Amino acid sequence: MKGERKHQRSESRGPDGDTPARKAIKLSDHRQEQKDEDELMTAADIYFEEGGLQRIHPYFFKFATHAKGRWVGRTILEVFRSEFRDRPPGYYEPAIAQGIIEINNERVGPSTVVRNGDLVTHFIHRHEPPVTTQPLTIVQETDSGLLIVDKPGSIPVHPSGRYNYNSVVKILEKKHGYRALHPINRLDRLTSGLMLVGLNANVARRMENDLSSHRIQKEYICKVKGVFPTGRIICDQPIRVIAHKLSLNCVDPNEGKPSLTEFELLSVDDDQMHSVVYCRPKTGRTHQIRVHLQFLGYPIANDPLYCNTEVWGDNLGKNGELPLALPPLSELPTPTDTSAAETPAAPSPPPPAPTEEAKPPAGKDKKMNKMAGTTSASLLTDESRATWGPLVSRMENWKTKQELAILVDVPTDADAPRKCDKCSDPFMPDPTPDQLYIWLHAWRYSGPGWSYETKLPAWASGATEHIDRVKYQKESA
């Protein structure tokens, strides 16, 4: 009866509840609780290596956010079914009934209406994707509080999405003992190389100002498809974001932002299939090097976004040309055992309510703001949709097919259970080595009175003798 009375009280809440200040305190208290529990976790509690990958022991975690404006007036079940993509629709009603989803730290029913300022929480069993075992290397730490690291591919800079402990910030905290980190330059997850991290806000602010004022020179190395031309090649095509959700950026002469990158050939592989190229971006657009190389007709050879014939066609977007018709996508994979490998829309049982001893939420809380039911193409303006809509749709279709292919490839042998015994999530197959990184490496950063560089990655070893020549020319220029 006690639980029923609590449920009824939650269902009949009036519009007058906590003040905004009180609600802010609730979220602040929740974040402090997560932080305190995270600090008790050691690297030995979190990380282990298996099968050539760095893995994270699964753990319970509570996501929390204040209700978005578009949620207000809708039921909690409607909000989760329409707004979140990480679970099938059939998961949410039982999860609400079990108290895995709460409002203002209270159990509610599926028909509870979300009100302005409500604190919505979702307690989950979290499985992080594995990353490379290649270590995050400390290149140097300065007396002024600047940390220079060499980041391997496959590791994101910040906790985001499915990644938390397998991120640069968390690895530096848990394995190296650093605190209060301020990343200055942010590399993509698949990009390797040099990162500048401030150990205090002042040095981070100063370095960020130098970056935005173009007082810091950035030099990258990449490996592209084909034989790159000799001499200094300059691409100054403007770049715009086409779809934030897909991290898709393209050259757009009309709406793009000014962008400029210098390229120079370093070496060509013996088979004449690939070239190692020196890159010097003069501006800092998202994916700038990757987009400019694609435009020139020499995309990074293992780039899943910009060297993808299934999305861009055989021309791969050279000179900004887009295929007019939607290319025929190969058939979506069909699971042979639908009871074990469900599509994202299929219902699956919710996780059991966690016991007290199995409640170690850990890590930094993250706002639950993934949108579902809204395509990236539908977010374009009417004018842009005519140009970019087909491309965005092709990219979305391709990504959906990859997700389904992963479900089909879920392990089936007797020694590898299909689902987690705590949350019923299917165990995903490991990434293959070529899915851990792209052939793009942040090699050297230089500023007023300083310069730091990393070793060349193995895939660029043939360019070692040439990189010194290019580096010397840039220093002498």
- State the CB neighbour count (10 A cutoff) for residue 216: 20
DSSP classification of residue 315: T
Strand, helix or coil for residue 221: strand
Assess contact for 416 and 103: CB atoms under 8 A: no
Assess contact for 351 and 124: CB atoms under 8 A: yes
- Active-site amino acid positions: 188
Assess contact for 455 and 441: CB atoms under 8 A: no
Strands 440-447 and 450-453 turn out to be antiparallel
Place of tokens 């290319």: 327
- Of 89, 85, 66, nearest in space to 162 by CA: 85
Assess contact for 221 and 456: CB atoms under 8 A: yes
Rounded CA gap, 2 and 6, in Å? 6
- State the CB neighbour count (10 A cutoff) for residue 458: 7
Tell me how far apart the terminal alpha carbons of the chain are, to the nearest angstrom: 80
Please list, residue by residue across 275-312, b when 16 or more beta carbons sit within 10 angstroms of its beta carbon and e when fewer do: bbbbbbbeeebbbbbbbbbbbbbbbbbbbebbbbeebb
Assess contact for 184 and 211: CB atoms under 8 A: yes
Rounded CA gap, 252 and 238, in Å? 6
Number of H helices, E strands in the chain: 11, 18
Rounded CA gap, 204 and 202, in Å? 5
Residues sharing a CB contact under 8 Å with residue 429, sequence separation 6 or more, in sequence order: 406, 409, 410, 411
Please report which helix (H) or strand (E) contains residue 280, including its range: strand 274-281
